[in-house]
Amino acid sequence: MKLWKLMVLLFCGSGLLACSSQPTPSLYQQLGGESGIAAITDGLLHQIEHDPLIVNHFRDTDIPRFRDLLAEQLCELSGGPCVYSGATMEESHTGLNLTTRDFDRLVNHLITVMQQRDIPYSAQNRLLALLAPMYSEVVER
């Protein structure tokens, strides 16, 4: 086969591959967009409500407002169209005396909810990596 024919075949083949491959969805899309993040938030609140070891930290919390702000924060962190309008993590957790155990339980509940919603592990890890730096702003403030 002549070199130019081989080059044409390779070029056309690579072009077909490029056209047939889908762009990687954003983290926001992988979480399910607005409705997916709402479901994750509601699932997490359900987990918290049924966890006697951490539910007491939320006894003075305005739950509907907390839900809205959490969804807003997850949306913004994941690259969605939202802008988080709440207080900083440090401001909102000062005086709560949260421990590493409390933080870990909440993270484990989040993981459980994401697994129940069949969120891909790579997306779960990406979201957790975005949340991890907040540990120092939340624990023992």
More confident residue, 29 or 10: 29
| pLDDT value at 17 more than 80 | no
Q: What is the pTM of this model?
A: 0.82
Please give the tally of structural domains in the chain: 1
Over residues 127-139, the pLDDT tens digits come to 999 999 999 999 9
CA distance 104 to 100: 6
Over residues 32-48, the pLDDT tens digits come to 999 999 999 999 999 99
Exposed, middle or buried by CB within 10 Å (0-12, 13-18, 19+), for 96? middle
pLDDT for the residue numbered 5: 47
pLDDT for the residue numbered 22: 75
CA distance to 8, 30, 38, 98, per residue, from 125 (Å)? 41, 12, 19, 23
Domain hosting 66: range is 30-138
Query: Would 68 be classed as within a structural domain?
Result: yes
Domain CATH code at residue 79: 1.10.490.10
Query: Would 3 be classed as within a structural domain?
Result: no
